[in-house]
Amino acid sequence: MHGRESSVMKSSTICRQYDEKCRYLRNQESRGESHMSIDRTRAVVKDLYSRICVAIQRIDMISKNIEDLRDKELQPQLEELIGSLTRMWETMLECHRHQHEIIKLVSNSGGIKVLIRSESQFQATLLLQVELKSLFSNFQRWIVSHRSYLNSLQSWLLKCVKSLRTKKKSRKKKDTDFQITNFAVAPIFTICEQWIKLLDELPIEDLEGGIKGLLADINHCMPRQEKRRGGSRSTFAIPNGGLNDEMRGIHRNDAHTDLQSSLESFLGKLEFFSDVSVHKYGELKKKINTAKEKYEEANRLH
């Protein structure tokens, strides 16, 4: 891409020189200057024209190499990644659906309260908190990285179609309204555009809220240090620093929070997120196939 931009800049400089010399030649001819002077200017014009032709050929060659890299190497890898993500979410959906069914069966078998009394129960609950916090931060980072990669890729691709962007913006449309897929372009543009849209449509905030809600409920039910008449009895406590202010704000007032109900809600959100992801990635693959068919048809017509 940098080689192409460098060649374009050089050719632009040569074109400006060519235009200037052409104007100068016309002025010489209109003033009736000597044939020798006019011939020298014509020779310079011909040389500049030849250099422009060479620059155009070089730009075309570099552009073809970029298109080959984009369409024959990058696009198949992106399609393979989308296929892998689709299979991943299908597996996740099956797993979370099974987990959700189990917790629903347990919840429906009777109103059993979850009480944390022994040290082993406390340690298991503490480990669950740690894992949920890790899930929350890793999920956020994964989404951010996902968006960053796709936006960077789309930005790189749009450098190849700067002229289309200029044409679109000249119609006084906002740049945010620009959709490159309105034009006959390679399917990889559809991949990026629709993939970014897919991320925007996922129930991300709903799942994040489910994780924070379960964390808050667990923290609410953790035992505190107690002193009883006739001696002291220590139960296990988690410090207030265990959750941030946002998560502590979600605490319920009910001292007997039903963790089974909270866990059932959380697993339901996991199942729903996985289900939506499978559906959205399936739609994305269909849109890619449609874009490939249109692109092939456009190439046949030309």
- Report DSSP state, residue 33: -
Average pLDDT over residues 45-50: 90
Average pLDDT over residues 87-101: 96
For the whole model, what pTM was predicted? Answer: 0.71
Percent of the chain surpassing pLDDT 70: 74
Alpha-carbon gap, residue 96 to 104, rounded angstroms: 12
Q: Which residue has the tokens 């994780």?
A: 211
**Which pLDDT score is estimated for 201?**
96
Least confident piece of the model among 36-45, 46-55, 72-81, 216-225? 216-225
Residue 31 tokens, joined: 């003033």
Percent of the chain surpassing pLDDT 90: 41
Residue range 59-83, pLDDT digits in tens: 888 888 888 889 999 999 999 999 9
Residue range 208-260, pLDDT digits in tens: 999 999 999 888 877 664 333 343 333 433 344 444 544 444 444 443 446 78
**Which pLDDT score is estimated for 223?**
66
When pLDDT is cut at 50, 70 and 90, the band that residue 180 belongs to is: low
Strand partners, 233: 226
Alpha-carbon gap, residue 262 to 52, rounded angstroms: 70
Helix (H, G, I), strand (E, B) or coil at 257: coil
Alpha-carbon gap, residue 176 to 169, rounded angstroms: 10
**Which pLDDT score is estimated for 52?**
87
